[in-house]
Amino acid sequence: MSEETTETLVEAEAPTTINDLKPKMQLKGIVKRLELYGAFVDIGVGVNALVHISKLSKERVNRVSDILKEGDEITVWVEKVNPANQQVMVSMVEPLAVEWTDLKNGQAYTGRVNRLENFGAFIDIGAEREGLVHISELSHGYVKHPSEVYSVGDEVQVQVLGFSKRKRRIDLSIKALLEAPEASESYGGRGKNQADSYSFEVEEEFEEEIMPTAMEIAMRRAMGEPMPSPTRGKKRRRRKSRAKMREQQEDIMHRTLRVRHDG
Phi-psi region of 44 (alpha: psi -120 to 50; beta: other; left: phi over 0): left
| Amino acid sitting at position 214 | A
CATH classification (class only), 3-91: mainly beta
Half-sphere exposure of 211 (CA within 13 A, CB side): 4
pTM above 0.85, yes or no: no
Query: Who's near 25: CB < 8 A, 6+ residues apart?
Result: 15, 77, 78
Pseudo-torsion of CA 70, 72, 76, 78, nearest 10°?
A: 30
Three-class DSSP labels, 72-87: CEEEEEEEEEEHHHCE
Residue 127, SS3 per DSSP: coil
Q: Do domains 3-91 and 100-177 have the same CATH topology?
A: yes
Q: Read off the pLDDT of residues 128-177 as tens digits, 9 standing for 90 and up.
A: 999 999 999 999 999 999 999 999 999 999 999 999 999 999 999 999 99
Architecture of 100-177 per CATH?
Answer: Beta Barrel (2.40)
Angle between helices 214-223 and 242-262 (to 10 degrees): 30
Q: Read off the pLDDT of residues 59-95 as tens digits, 9 standing for 90 and up.
A: 999 999 999 999 999 999 999 999 999 999 999 999 9
Domain boundaries, the chain: 3-91, 100-177, 201-262
Q: Read off the pLDDT of residues 106-141 as tens digits, 9 standing for 90 and up.
A: 999 999 999 999 999 999 999 999 999 999 999 999
Residue 245, SS3 per DSSP: helix
